[in-house]
Amino acid sequence: MLSPEELSRYSRNILLNEVKRAGQEKLKNSVVTVIGAGGLGSPALLYLGAAGVGSIRIIDSDILDTTNLQRQIIFKHSDIGRFKSEASSENLRSLNPYIRVEGIQARLTTENAKELLKGSDLVLEGSDNFDTKFLTNDICVEERIPFITAGVLRFEGMVMGVRPGMDACFRCVYENPPPPEHVPSCADAGVIGSMAGMIGTIQVTESIQFLLNDSERDSGLFGRILQVDSRSMEFRTISAVRRKDCIVCGALH
């Protein structure tokens, strides 16, 4: 049930025919796990919390440094030197005291991934490395947890949604991680901070629509890849096709 304070706080959501009170209560009862409280996770966490998603888990093992503040907007200057999981959880609770936030100081690994992602209605993956992206894909597909993965570099970004058993998974498209030396990081190549904000916001907008009741819809970014080039402001959507020989999702029905 929504308290009078929550009804007031979320009133602009509730006015929407696609949300109303029932939809807002769905958001309150949802559990979302966010992998990475960085450039993508920061705006995603802020909007998940502001929208009233009731339970949010944050998985991140890093310590905040000065270079992060150019794009990781959930943090303050005074958070430098703190663990991101701790600082982001505290700042998110400060934004919205009516939600439950759990900060998990850990890196996603093959040993802990199942336990950390268990019970999630949706996973948002916004890490800066392909090993974590492929691991998230593999565990979410195995456990049948819907997820939205995203990445950003320089002036470009991408978002892809996967409903295991329905959509092509990340390995259907990319199969295996590229050699590390072939993929520069933001620390090596740079990134426009607002580009991370744009992609993270798209990621969370799709998440909220999914949580409301649109898990079966054919539109949106589930089963598709959105590619964004901010230099030309071109947005391109590509359909992702499931591969029957995919080593992760090929046998799912």
CB 83 within 8 A of CB 105: yes
Residue 245 lies in a domain: no
pLDDT of residue 177: 79
- Helix ranges, the chain (H): 4-9, 11-14, 20-28, 41-51, 84-95, 113-117, 130-143, 170-174, 186-189, 193-212
- Residue-averaged pLDDT of the chain: 94
pLDDT of residue 219: 64
140 carries an active-site annotation: no
Q: Is 65 helix (H, G, I), strand (E, B) or coil?
A: coil
Asked if the structure places residue 252 within a domain, the reply is: no
In a domain, 248, yes or no: no
User: What CATH number is given to the structural domain containing 22?
Assistant: 3.40.50.720
185 pLDDT exceeds 90? no
Answer yes or no: is 253 within a domain: no
**247 within domain boundaries:** no
Q: Is residue 10 part of a domain?
A: yes
pLDDT in tens, 201-240: 999 999 999 999 855 566 689 999 999 999 999 999 999 9
Kindly indicate the confidence band of residue 181, based on its pLDDT and cuts at 50, 70 and 90.
Answer: low
pLDDT tens, residue by residue, 94-152: 999 999 999 999 999 999 999 999 999 999 999 989 999 999 999 999 999 999 999 99
> What pLDDT digit, counting tens, does each position of 31-56 carry?
999 999 999 999 999 999 999 999 99
The total of structural domains in the chain comes to 1
Whether 250 is covered by a domain: the verdict is no
Catalytic residue among 169, 186, 246, 249: 186
pTM: 0.94
Task: Report d(CA 209, CA 23) in Å as an integer.
Answer: 10
Give me the domain span that covers residue 129: 4-239
